[in-house]
Structure 1
Amino acid sequence: MAPLTSLTTALLFSSLASASTIQFNIARNPAAEEAQLTRRQLTNLYKRAGTVNVALTNAENQGLYFANVTVGTPGQNLALQIDTGSSDVWVPSTTASLCGNAKEGGCPNGAFNSKSSTSFQDVETNGFNISYVDGTGSTGDYFQDTFKIGGATLNNFEMGLALDTTIGTGIMGIGYNTSEANIDTGNGTEYPNLPLAMVNAGAINSAAYSLWLNDLQATTGSILFGGIDTAKYSGDLISIKVYPDSQGGRTTSFTVAFTSLSATSSSGTDQLTPANYATAAILDSGTTITLLPDDIATSIFEELGATVSQQLGAVVVPCALAENSGTINYGFGGTGGPTIKVAVSQLVLPLTLTNGRTPTYTNGQAACQLGIQAAGDLPVLFGDTFLRSAYVVYDLENNRIALAQTDFNSTSSNVVSFASQGAPIPSATTAANEDQVTQTATGVPKVGTTGTADGTAAATYNPTATGLNAANGFAATSTSTSTGSKKNAAGAGPEPFAWSRVVVAGVSLALAGVGGGVFTLL
């Protein structure tokens, strides 16, 4: 095709020469068109080469994200929960007693029969042992077998086989291999976990992946190994440091510098952290809620008018809060670092009792759970109630995290792969003057719940400990964080936002039964 300037000149000359209709006969060049099509196809192939895209399923919109995989030869189908906070892929064995116990929930996402796989190899008998702070865990063997995910095939991939487990679903740990279970227990040496094994197999170019969980109402999201998808976020993708542990100097978790928090409503923005604030925080997809420092969490509770229900083990808000348009704004890496806005509507989670009913306030309002809790003695963790609003790139090669505002329900895709092993995050800029933090936690806590026969979570209820009277319908006054003087990291602090007006001070919960609604931290 002629350059635009030449075509314009030709049209001008023709109009001056004759006022009659001008017909252009454009000769087609099949060879040139084919070459152009080939170039476009090669460009798209280059962008997608070295990536593995995996769809994620959000179980009942509860924030438990699963990837479908096959294990063994022939392949056995399982759904594994993704977890950036751990490092081992492990699967429950069909011989585990829990998997055959329907009353305890069984293993609803599949279990692995090692005897049915012709490629199974047991590599470390009794070597697999992973435990959680709530007393749950799994023990068994390390084994190697064929593992398929998102079109990629890994031969002789090492995993844990849970022969004895109190957890009914397998976990796909994709964190640093320096925190593998056998390292923590001192029983073994590091092995190539999933991100590294995908590099070794040539499936991806670099040990990195991008996480797009989509919004709270969505039933699916995705994880893209080896690349980013520029159509899944808006604004700038900004890279910040991942910090090593203070003990030993190893990088074992996705610890970043959490440097600011503010709340925005129709009346304006309140800053909830002081100037020059910085604390270590872990980005963990296996944690369904977000655990913040106690003083900051208290400030948010006051802003939103939330109450702490000891008997439910949850921070409770009216479900009507989901209609509010306010945001909680998280900053990372200091000045010039990324800021992620989380809509208040994304923080209101369902709260269901073991009898299937929703608890209500005495004024008839339905009660829901707030997706933020105080960390207490646990590390600060940014779980799915934060991660849904962020497009997050985890770069294990360079110890970097890149964050951008997610584009909810995006139907477009523009995949760009990491150019090579150790290459920088594509399309990302680096935060300037990054604040420094120290990770003093010894590991990522793993808090679970007890599964009921119908697969829902069940909270522990002790009427004596909570002061409830079991004979009068379990009605009880919830503990309000709004009582007494306001605790605010920014000083005296602002007044609560308009959205807190839906809460009546000192309101009590009218409970028809106590149980469910405690969310699993994995």
Structure 2
Amino acid sequence: MAGRVLLSPLPLIAVLLLHIGLARAATTNPGVESLTRITLPLTEIRTPPINYPRVYAVNVTLGTPGQPRTLVVDVNSQMTWTHSYKTPAFPAVKNKINPPFYTANSSSVKFTGCKTDECSAAHYISTSLAPEEFCLADDCGYNVTLQIDDNDVMQYTAGVLGSDVLGIGGNKMVSSGPLGFSFVTEGRFANLTTDGVLGLAMVNTSTLSSLVKLYNIPKTISICIDGAAGGVLSLGQLPVALEGETLKYMALVDTTDVLVGFDMYAVNVSGAAVTGFAKTKPLNYVGVLNTAVDMTFVPLEMYSGLLTLLKESASVPTFDVQVPGMNITCYNAPSCDVTYLPTATIDLANVTLTATPQDYTFSIPTENGQCVVCFNILPWGFDNAMMIGANFLKKTWMIIDAEKKRVAFTNSKPCK
């Protein structure tokens, strides 16, 4: 295997304030008001100066009193983390939507001690935290790295583990832990304009698992990304929009052998194509589902085939543009209109995911009134795995049943 993946790629920009709705039911746990579902509007965030990459985020609060946090929704991140500092001596990250989380201003923050059972358990469950347990002073330390291949580390963040009160709407609060308080960031993590990541992976360290345990809601993620219009994230019972809908589920596949022990939400990929051209040869890839960013990463062989077809449809020479952590293929065009490009598709067991030219490209206007058009289908350092990004999930409800390890897709209902 050519590389290892420890977190989905997340480069970003500014976001609108979001309202979080909670559907309430009768109390089932003493002292805790039960919910049937938690519904959070999504906002598309574009990164300046070229308005790309595009990512999808929600607003929450953290701490007592609550400090606003804008977090990218990442269904395969094993932990929720935020840019933080413990004392003014820590260098504060800049250019974020909100100031870094100041732990000293929260009366409810707790840090996980080093060499404790909680620290060992967190590192055992969530292999993204570090290869093994380590200490930062008296606290349980962690690092999270995204590595595309053996030589290319794209981003890195490190800090200490703890817990605090996570506000998910109105007066509704949940105690979140383990939570990552990141004090050091490098690579594209350092350039994020959002405040961190909302981790919804199936492991016990994720916020999804904490919510399921606290409120006894189904371990189900329903998400519909609607591009510039934002979209919807719903946790727990199916959203109202899908009630009564007949869903065709397919099994999630085991990724532990492919992605270094990670149990991620993934499906089998059998083919890929662009309209008007022959399909690439039949495939047998594991496709990791990634809601965080408008990029799809594919094996080199598949990338070469798709890129050849896209180059043929554009009928112009291409060139590579270096951005932090990766090369993106682009070409010069007389305008930013890309409707002449074909539709791209990825075939799964019982559904075909579709990306329009507007979904799998982004455009950079030039001073002479022309345009640089770039593809956001990128190579990944794995021979038999790919990461299906938000650009192939637009205007489609994706329902992940983590308990039964299955997933369904439907575009019969709007993203609301």
In the superposition, the TM-score normalised over structure 1's length comes to: 0.57
Are 1:144 and 2:170 an aligned pair? Answer: no
Q: Kindly provide the amino acid, as one letter, of the partner of residue 207 in structure 1.
A: K
Aligned to 1:7: none
1:80 to 63, 71, 77: 71
Are 1:358 and 2:366 an aligned pair? Answer: yes
Aligned partners of 1:405 and 1:226: how far apart in 2?
A: 20
Q: 1:278 to 1:324 in 2, by over 3 A?
A: same
What whole-Å deviation, never above 9, does each CA across 1:272-308 have from its counterpart, x for those lacking one? 1335x32111111234311223333333333332555
Q: Structure 2: 5+ residue runs without aligned partners?
A: 1-22, 27-33, 114-138, 148-152
2:280–2:306 Cα contact (<8 Å) kept:
no
Aligned partners of 1:58 and 1:98: how far apart in 2?
A: 30
Q: 1:358 to 1:237 in 2, by over 3 A?
A: farther
Aligned to 2:280: 273
Aligned to 1:173: 199
Aligned partners of 1:291 and 1:249: how far apart in 2?
A: 17
Aligned to 1:288: 294
Are 1:121 and 2:110 an aligned pair? Answer: yes
Q: Kindly provide the amino acid, as one letter, of the partner of residue 256 in structure 1.
A: V
RMSD of aligned residue pairs (Cα, Å): 3.3
2:159–2:181 Cα contact (<8 Å) kept:
yes
Matches within 5 A, 1:44-443: 50-60=36-46, 62=52, 63-94=54-85, 95=87, 100=92, 105-124=94-113, 125-133=139-147, 134=153, 136-151=155-170, 152-155=172-175, 157-166=177-186, 167=190, 168=192, 169-177=195-203, 191-202=204-215, 205-215=217-227, 217-218=228-229, 220-229=230-239, 231=241, 237-244=247-254, 245-246=256-257, 252-264=263-275, 269-275=276-282, 277-305=283-311, 308-312=318-322, 313-317=327-331, 318=333, 320-324=336-340, 326-333=342-349, 337-351=350-364, 358=366, 365-377=370-382, 379-405=385-411, 410=415
1:261–1:271 Cα contact (<8 Å) kept:
no
Aligned partners of 1:325 and 1:150: how far apart in 2?
A: 42
CA drift at 1:192 = 4.1
Q: Kindly provide the amino acid, as one letter, of the partner of residue 202 in structure 2.
A: Y
Per the alignment, in what secondary structure is the counterpart of residue 302 of structure 1?
Answer: helix
Q: 1:260 to 1:321 in 2, by over 3 A?
A: farther
Q: 1:294 to 1:230 in 2, by over 3 A?
A: farther
Q: Kindly provide the amino acid, as one letter, of the partner of residue 99 in structure 2.
A: G
Aligned partners of 1:310 and 1:97: how far apart in 2?
A: 40
Aligned partners of 1:247 and 1:345: how far apart in 2?
A: 31
1:80–1:109 Cα contact (<8 Å) kept:
no
Per the alignment, in what secondary structure is the counterpart of residue 305 of structure 2?
Answer: helix
CA drift at 1:229 = 3.5
CA drift at 1:376 = 4.2
Q: Structure 1: 5+ residue runs without aligned partners?
A: 1-42, 178-190, 352-356, 414-522
Structure having the higher strand fraction is 2
Q: How many residues align?
A: 332
Aligned partners of 1:157 and 1:368: how far apart in 2?
A: 42
**Percent identical residues:** 19
Per the alignment, in what secondary structure is the counterpart of residue 314 of structure 1?
Answer: strand
Q: Kindly provide the amino acid, as one letter, of the partner of residue 280 in structure 1.
A: V
Q: 1:290 to 1:96 in 2, by over 3 A?
A: farther
What whole-Å deviation, never above 9, does each CA across 1:417-463 have from its counterpart, x for those lacking one? xxxxxxxxxxxxxxxxxxxxxxxxxxxxxxxxxxxxxxxxxxxxxxx
1:121–1:145 Cα contact (<8 Å) kept:
yes
